[in-house]
Amino acid sequence: MGMSGHRTISKKNKKLSNLKGSCLCGQVCYRIKGVVRDVVNCFCEQCRKTSGHYVAATRVNKNNLVLSKQATLNWYESSEGVFRGFCSQCGANLFWDDGYDEQISIMAGTLDSPTGLTTIANIFTQDASDYFEIPRVDS
Ligand SMILES: [Zn+2]
Ligand SMILES: [Zn+2]
C-alpha cells in the first residue's frame, strides 16, 4: 500500500485561490495563497483510521500555506518521514506532509466554504471499508 496517490496533480486541476481554513476549535488557522489542486478522495487504511471515514484533500505548495494560528498544531508520524498535522485540542485532521516534494496536502473539509474546488479522483478504493458506497467521480 503506497501513499503516492495523494501526490497526483495534473495541471488542468489547479486553480488560483485565496482560501482560508481552520480546525473545529479555531486554534489552528491557515491561509492559502496561489495555486491549489482540486480535491482527491483517499480511501487508504491510514486515511480511514485517522479520519474515521476517508480523506478528501487538496494540495498546495508549502510556501503558499500560511499558518496564522498554530498553538495546538501537532504532527503524528504515520509512516517514516510522513507526518499528519492535527489539532491537539479538537482532534481535527488538517495536513498530510509526505516529505516527497515541496507540496503539502490539506484536508479539504477544513477549508472555509465555498472553496470553488471540485472532486476529481478516488484513490486506494480497494482499502475502503464495506459499509458504504464509494462516491462517484466524473472526471
Ligand atoms: Zn482545534
Ligand atoms: Zn490515504
The CA 34 to ligand 2 mean position distance, Å, reads 24
The CA 121 to ligand 2 mean position distance, Å, reads 12
Residue at 74: amino acid letter:
N
User: For 58-106, how does the pLDDT look when each residue is reduced to its tens digit (9 = 90+)?
Assistant: 999 999 999 999 999 999 999 999 999 999 999 999 999 998 889 999 9
Task: Report yes or no on 131 lying in a domain.
Answer: no
SS3 1: coil
- 11 pLDDT above the threshold of 60: no
Task: Report yes or no on 34 lying in a domain.
Answer: yes
Rounded to 5 degrees, what are φ and ψ at 97? Answer: -115, 105
Instruction: For residue 39, list its beta bridge partners.
Output: 119
Task: Report yes or no on 133 lying in a domain.
Answer: no
Q: Which domain holds residue 23?
A: 15-126
DSSP state for residue 23 in the 8-state scheme: -
Average pLDDT of the chain? 90
Task: Report yes or no on 5 lying in a domain.
Answer: no
The CA 47 to ligand 2 mean position distance, Å, reads 4
The CA 24 to ligand 1 mean position distance, Å, reads 5
Percent residues over pLDDT 70 in the chain: 89
User: For 41-62, how does the pLDDT look when each residue is reduced to its tens digit (9 = 90+)?
Assistant: 999 999 999 999 999 999 999 9
User: For 12-39, how does the pLDDT look when each residue is reduced to its tens digit (9 = 90+)?
Assistant: 667 767 899 999 999 999 999 999 999 9
The CA 118 to ligand 2 mean position distance, Å, reads 18
The CA 67 to ligand 1 mean position distance, Å, reads 13
Model pTM above 0.85 = yes
Number of domains in the chain: 1
